[in-house]
Amino acid sequence: MQRLTASVLYDALMRLPIVALTAYFLWRETGILRGFLNSRVGAGLDAPAWASIAAHVAVSVFLLLLLCFHMARLRPVRKSQGLLPRFAALAGLTLGYLLLLLPRAAPDVGYQTASATIIGIGGFLCVVVVMQLGRSLSIMPEARRLVTHGFYRHIRHPLYLVEQIVSLGIFLQFRSIEAALVLLANLAFQFWRMVEEEKVLVAAFPEYEDYRQRTARVIPGIY
């Protein structure tokens, strides 16, 4: 019983950094939305403004869902071995957030509208995928429960795919060499995370190998 309690406590403690990080960016995103709405008081809302509001709301809902599922996620039945898989997971996570902290480019209606539209679509898809993943959501390469319904019926890593769609939309607000390098580095680490996660899932679930043979990693018919 003591070992079980210690294990539960350890798992809870391991959630705190990602919960705190997600909560910070949720607070930051809602603050940006409030500031945007305050700046539009008396000025009215045109189509680009509504697109920006929809994008911020979608990202906020996505972050809120991440926060909830990270707190309520199942305990893993298997974990990756060694430090490198954990490094890849942490790098992929933090680089995604780092993009939000870079200086933004000068406002441009065309880029802002395209960015808001892409983020809105990607954010909505992220919400759908996270709902399908539910309490199996994980940052580190860990196995909790094998999910094969919804988007997971066709591709093995839909969350990474839709997250990159959101990242592309965010990049359009920055449009700098630094932002492009961060985006490319994040993409590289996300592919590394996929490989490491699949190693754990193969070891944890005997049926995963058959599932892997009949699905694409991220894009059906391509990869």
Average pLDDT rounded to a whole number, residues 10-14: 68
pLDDT in tens, 156-198: 999 999 989 989 998 998 999 999 999 999 999 999 999 999 9
CA distance 213 to 6: 38
Residue with tokens 């990202």: 59
- Rounded to the nearest integer, the mean pLDDT of the chain is 87
pLDDT in tens, 108-132: 888 888 888 898 898 889 889 988 9
pLDDT in tens, 36-60: 899 888 777 887 788 778 888 888 8
Full DSSP string of 115-182:
HHHHHHHHHHHHHHHHHHHGGG--SSSEES----SGGGGTBS-HHHHHHHHHHHHHHTTT-SHHHHHH
Q: What is the pLDDT of residue 9?
A: 66
- Class (C level, CATH) for 2-213: mainly alpha
Please tell me what DSSP assigns to residue 216: B
pLDDT in tens, 195-204: 999 999 999 9
CA distance 66 to 60: 10
Please tell me what DSSP assigns to residue 80: -
Q: Under a CB-based contact definition with an 8 Å cutoff, are residues 173 and 111 in contact?
A: yes
- In terms of pTM, does the model score above 0.75? yes
